[in-house]
Every structure is written in C-alpha cells, then in structure tokens.
A and B are shown apart, each in its own frame.
Chain A
Amino acid sequence: MDAVRAFLRHPSGMVGLVVLLVVVVIALIAPIVFPVSPWEMVSAPFTPPGEDGLLLGGDTLGRDVAAGVAYGARVSLVIGIASAMAAMVIGVTIGAISGYFGGKVDLVLMRVTELFQTIPAFVLAILLVATFNPSLLTIILTIGAVSWPPLARLTRAEFLRLRNREFVEAALCQGEGTLQIVLGHILPNAISPILVVTSLTVATAILLESALSFMGLGDPNLMSWGFMIGAGRTVIRNAWWMSVFPGLAILITVLAINLFGEGLSDVLNPRVSRRRS
C-alpha cells in the first residue's frame, strides 16, 4: 500500500491516471450519450463544429464526429490493453525461458528477439493484418506479435538477476519443480518492472492500431480514431475538424498512459527508473 500512497503523491503520474480515467469513462458511457451508432448519418455532410447540435461537427457523410471520438475510445483502449497483454504473455514466456535456462536456448531465443527488433515492425504488422484480414482479433494478435521484444529482454534480464538467489536455491533444495520455481518464486519478484513496461506498451499499441486503421487496416465494423483521420485526410482543406479531433484524442490518451506508466515506474522501481529517464 506504500506504493499506492507514493503514487498518489506523484504529480505527473496522477495527472496521467486522472486523464486516463476520463477516457475510460467516455468509452464506457459512449452508447448512453450517443445512442445512435457513429456510422449513422445525423446531419448534413460537412457540418462545422458547434452547428446543428454537433459539438465536434459532422464528417463527409454527416456522421457525428463526437460520437466517433467516443466510440473510438472503446476500440483504442480495448486493442491497446489486449495487445499489450498478448505482448506480455509472449515476451515474458520467451524471456523467462531464455533467462532461466541460459546456454544455447538463450542464444537462439535472443537471436530471434533481435531479429524481431530489427525488422520494421509496422511493415510486418501491415503484412500480417493484410494476410489474415483485419478484425479485432487479428489486429490484437498482430500488435502483440510485433510488440513483445522489449518485454522479453526485460524478463530475461530479471531472470538472470534472480535465478541464482538464495530463495531460488532453497526452493530447488526442497525439490520444487521448474515450473513451480519460475511461476511461484522468480516471476513474482520480477513482476513490477514487467507491469511498468506492459503499461507503456499499451501506449505504443494504441499508436500502432491508429496507424494501421489510418492505412485502411482497421476492423471495418469498428469506428476508430485512425480510421476517422484517414477518412478526413482528403478533405482537410475544407474540413479540419474531421482529422483534428480524433488525432487529439489519440495524443491525449497516449500521453496519459505514458505519464501513468512513468509514474508507476518511479514508484515501483526507483532504481531502474532513474537510470531510464
């Protein structure tokens, strides 16, 4: 509980948390505030902000930009969190195996990790989503599949640091199995930096999702911020609001998550955090 109290006193972390909570609330109440689907025409096309009862204006087909922004928050948060979780599962598994067993296994896995870090992740993501057709699930799995390397490296480093500690040896002496030692003893001690990096991965995942849907690779059934910017791009000369508001939404959300994640990092791992920032 000390960590919670310390976080409450972390100014930028708290700003991040509060803004993030606002985004979450907007995402939750979107269907109540905007009962009409964001795909429905509600006004004349190109309605400027503030006119015709549309706070953020209407788009080229007369759809409510504010409704799109609110529903987009749902998509961004769900995809951001789910794909960061997917990245965490892949990264922690690979990093744990690599760090715990060492030797040839470690060598091979780290080469694979390096390869994934070298190749252009966004281009790989485009290729994967295009191959398996854009849907909520394929987008989440794809972003997870290109975002895990930092988590794998971090987990490996933590496991290397912890695997020769006395408590691990004690567990070994008591005849505990490998899985039990890894999950019951090492992982709990490595969890806080992993959580910090996972929270920052949510932010990069949201950026990646927005770029994918901007390129036309979003789930065609879901209104997302990237899609709105992509749709508004061609008419930016006459209708700035169609691309400005969804972009601001991305910026604010990602910034909030980063502030929250860095606050978390300061509170949970002051040592690592000071070196990083």
Chain B
Amino acid sequence: MIRLGSAATIGLMALSRIAQLVAVILLIATFNFVLVRAAPGDPAQVMAGQSGASDPKLLEDLRKEYGLDKPYAVQLASYLGRVVRLDLGYSYRQRRAVVDLILERLPATLLLTVTAFCLALLIGTTLGALAGLAAGSVLDTVFTVLSLVLYATPVFWLGLMLVLVFSVTLGWLPPFGYETINVKLSPLEHALDIAKHMIMPVTSLAAIYLAIYARLMRSSIIEVAQQDFIKTARAKGLSGPSIVVGHMLRNALVPVVTVAGMQAGALVGGAVVIETVFAWPGLGRLTFDALLQRDYPLLLGIFLILSIVVIVLNLLTDLIYRLIDPRMTTGAA
C-alpha cells in the first residue's frame, strides 16, 4: 500500500467513509421499502397502522402520497429521494413528522449510549489489563467468573434488579425517568440530577460490554506480554510500569477497539431495551410506544436513524484505531 501524505490519507479516508455511509443509508432505506411491500396486507394499510386501516380517506391519501399505483422502481426512487431529503414519513398515531419525533428523542439516546460505551471501554480495558498482568491470581479468577455471569445476564433484567436493590430496597436512586420533574434547579443541580438518573441505565447497559472488553483485554495483554519487543524492552532495562504503559497497552488495545466497533450495533440495541426499563425518554422508549401502537412509519424511521448512529460510532472507533495504531492506513484493516 502506497503511503500518502497524512493529511491526504485522512482526507481520502473521510471521503470514502462518507460514500460508504451514503451507500449504507440507501441500502437500509431500500430494505425498509421492500419490507413494507413484503408485509402481509396492502402497503397503505401497513403504513396507516391498525387504527388508520379502517379510514378509507386516509388509505386513499396514502396510496396517492406513496404513488402505490405506479411501478415499484418509480416508488422506490421517490422513496429514496424522500429519505435523502430527511423526509421519513408521517406518524399517523402521533400526528407528527417521523423525523421530528426521532430528532427530539435522539439526544437522550446518544447521551445514554455514548456514556455507556466510553465507560465500558475505559473500565473494561483497565480491569482486563489488571487481570491480564496478574493472570492466575485470585483477582483474575474473580474477574473471569464475574464476566462470565454478566455475559449471560439479560440487560433488561439486570436493569430491573438494580431498580429492586437501589430504588425499591435502599431508596438511593430514582427508579426511572430522565430528571426530577416539577422542581426548580440551578443548571449544575439539574446536570447532577440527570447524572443521578443515568447511573442505573448506564450501569446496566455498560456491564455486559465491560465484561466483554475486560476478557478481551486480558487475553490481549497476556499475548502481547509474550512478544519479542517486550523482552527487548526488558533487556534494555526498562522498568515494569514503563513497559506496561509505553509498550503493552497500546498494542493490546488494538483488538479490543476492533471488537468495540463491531459491538456498537449491539450496544444501541441494548439501549432500546434499557430505555424501556427505565422510561428513559429516548429512541428506545419511542420504539416501545411505536410497537404498542403498531406505528410502522415510526419504526422504519427509528431503524434507519439507529443504523446511522451505529455507523457513526464505527467511524469514531476507526479514529481511535488510527490514534493508537499508526500502522493502520485506509483499507488496510
């Protein structure tokens, strides 16, 4: 692979990434389109949902709006055109544009997922590194057993158990919601209030990924420790801590970050369930409501937007990747 100037490489990478992003969005939109046609019943009825299906006027309007009498290719082209213009349709249940409903809820979901993602990565790699450096010790065994158990725990149930212990029994934390309502708070108090509401949702969402990253980091550290350059560093007379920080962590982190990127989709999926448990006012909660009301345009829109969120999270991990492993260039992964 020819090495270009660094700025040019990053520019090229950004361009190819944006092209990929657009391609994926169009693919997912096409998938949504096919799904509506594959669903049992007539597409207008599917889009109108259970309540609207009995309203002939609405169905007629929908058929006209989506051009359902025209050939599939024309319908698809006009649908993709809408998606590109960020027109994701209309929620007949909530009587609002889907994109507005989603954008209103997106910040809460991002706050939850990004916090959980960063904490899981940070704490998971730290614990994993500690366990790996002390492989075979009691600490290592405790970590291993704990991560096995966490890995088998359904996220929503973990959330409920936290509520049971910390809200119902101990009364330390608010059991659900995003903020305390009907109280006047200063900006700082307000931020602290939100943080307090976040503790349990973030913990339950982060726990499983923390376990995964810790296990990975543990084996990664053990593997790196056996490599020649570490022996060289030791032979050069470097002390233990400086070998760990300067040589081992960076190299050991590479596989962990790769997997973290691949897990972004699962993390966002977990957020959907966790928001339902904690009545967190994000896209997950919106999904739950959309499901109860069979609000199909809203579900399709949420799927599209959450997929974009995942791709952006992937881009972010790619950046971290480049920061920790300079050997990585475009396309080499």
| Chain A residues packing against B (C-beta within 8 Å) | 115, 117-124, 126-128, 130-133, 203, 207, 210-211, 214-217, 226, 229, 233, 236-237, 240, 243-244, 247, 250-252, 254-255, 258-259, 276-277
Q: Which 3 A-B pairs have the closest CB atoms?
A: A122-B269, A247-B157, A255-B152
**With A118-B24, A118-B311 given, is the CB distance from A124 to B303 under 8 Å?**
yes
Within the complex, which residue of A117, A120, A133, A207 is in contact with B306, where a contact is CB–CB below 8 Å?
A120
Q: Does B177 contact A (CB under 8 A)?
A: no
Which residues, 34 to 60 on B, are CB-close (under 8 Å) to A? 35, 38-40, 46
Q: Does B272 contact A (CB under 8 A)?
A: yes
7 A-B residue pairs with Cβ-Cβ distance under 8 Å, sorted by A, are A127-B303, A207-B154, A211-B155, A243-B157, A243-B160, A247-B154, A277-B215
- The reply to whether A119 and B152 form a contact with Cβ atoms under 8 Å apart is no
Within the complex, which residue of A119, A128, A214 is in contact with B28, where a contact is CB–CB below 8 Å?
A119
Please classify how large the interface on chain B is, using the bins under 10, 10 to 19, 20 to 34, 35 or more. Answer: 35 or more
| Chain B residues packing against A (C-beta within 8 Å) | 24, 27-28, 35, 38-40, 46, 148-149, 151-157, 160-161, 163-164, 168, 215, 219, 262, 264-266, 268-270, 272-273, 276-277, 287-288, 291-292, 294, 296, 299-300, 302-303, 306-307, 310-311, 314
**With A118-B307, A203-B152 given, is the CB distance from A127 to B300 under 8 Å?**
yes
- The reply to whether B157 and A119 form a contact with Cβ atoms under 8 Å apart is no
B293 to chain A: closest CB distance in Å? 11
Contacts of B164 in A (CB 8 A): 236, 240, 243-244
Contacts of A118 in B (CB 8 A): 24, 264-265, 307, 310-311, 314
**With A126-B272, A133-B40, A251-B152 given, is the CB distance from A119 to B168 under 8 Å?**
no
Within the complex, which residue of A117, A122, A130, A276 is in contact with B294, where a contact is CB–CB below 8 Å?
A130
* Beta-carbon nearest neighbor of B157 in chain A: A247
A58 to chain B: closest CB distance in Å? 18
A39 to chain B: closest CB distance in Å? 21
**With A229-B157, A233-B277 given, is the CB distance from A119 to B272 under 8 Å?**
no
Contacts of A243 in B (CB 8 A): 157, 160, 164
- The reply to whether A215 and B168 form a contact with Cβ atoms under 8 Å apart is no
Contacts of A214 in B (CB 8 A): 154, 156, 273, 276
- The reply to whether A229 and B168 form a contact with Cβ atoms under 8 Å apart is no
| Most chain B beta carbons < 10 A, residue from A119, A121, A237 | A119
| Most chain B beta carbons < 10 A, residue from A122, A240, A244 | A122
CA distance A115 to B125 in the complex (A): 27
- The reply to whether A115 and B273 form a contact with Cβ atoms under 8 Å apart is no
CA distance A247 to B168 in the complex (A): 18
CA distance A237 to B307 in the complex (A): 35
CA distance A277 to B148 in the complex (A): 11
A238 to chain B: closest CB distance in Å? 9
A215 to chain B: closest CB distance in Å? 6
CA distance A259 to B157 in the complex (A): 21
CA distance A211 to B35 in the complex (A): 22
A255 to chain B: closest CB distance in Å? 4
**With A122-B269, A243-B157, A247-B161 given, is the CB distance from A127 to B299 under 8 Å?**
yes
**With A133-B40, A243-B160 given, is the CB distance from A258 to B299 under 8 Å?**
no
* Beta-carbon nearest neighbor of B218 in chain A: A277
A216 to chain B: closest CB distance in Å? 6
**With A120-B266, A127-B303, A236-B160 given, is the CB distance from A211 to B273 under 8 Å?**
yes
Contacts of A217 in B (CB 8 A): 291
Contacts of B24 in A (CB 8 A): 115, 118
CA distance A133 to B296 in the complex (A): 12
